[in-house]
Amino acid sequence: MTGPAIDEKNTEEVVNHDVLLENSSENTLTAHEVISEPDVIGEEQTDTYESKGTEDSNETEALKNEISELRKKIEAKEKEQEKILRELGDFERLFPETSVKSVPDEVWQKVEGGVPLCAAYALYEREKKLAQNHANEINTRNSSLAAGKAGKGDSEEYFSPEEVKRMSQKEVHWNFSKIKNSMKYWR
């Protein structure tokens, strides 16, 4: 019976292994010394340890980058919250009679578009006031043009039956009390 063939390389590794054991028991070698001994441990194993160290450093670097990114996100969120609180404080100071809950959706849409809350609400209020003023001007102009007005401006105006017949329903409504007073004089 013949056993496995032993070549010089295998014999050399066994001898080197024995030397390693002897050195470790005598001198107590550290792991670093063992890894740095290319004669004692094969170069393939050294490469394995080095690549593992590289993987660990890559993983550590990736974790550091992730932590850095998360810190930046937290800082950005904190700045955004500070801005919101500052805008709400400004809003309460500038519009004390208005609750933030009563702010219309069109204002919030502008805020989402990047316009500050106070500016968006002030613009909304200004547009609302301009529209109301415009409507009041039109109503004033229309009431001065209503049929039956002689331009005298006195409250005791007289409307003849023919004038009342030519009035629209709206004009009759506006002048109803005057028409009632005028009816006393009709025959």
Domain with 167 in it: 156-187
Q: Does a structural domain hold residue 178?
A: yes
- State the pLDDT confidence band at 90, using cuts at 50, 70 and 90: very high
Question: In total, how many domains does the chain have?
Answer: 1
For residue 171, being part of any structural domain is answered with yes
Please tell me the pTM assigned to this model: 0.43
Residues 43-72: tens digit of each pLDDT:
455 455 455 567 788 899 999 999 999 999
100 domain-assigned: no
Assess if residue 169 is contained within a domain: yes
Q: How far is CA 36 from CA 19, 33, 59, 140, 152, in A?
A: 15, 5, 24, 100, 116
110: in domain? no
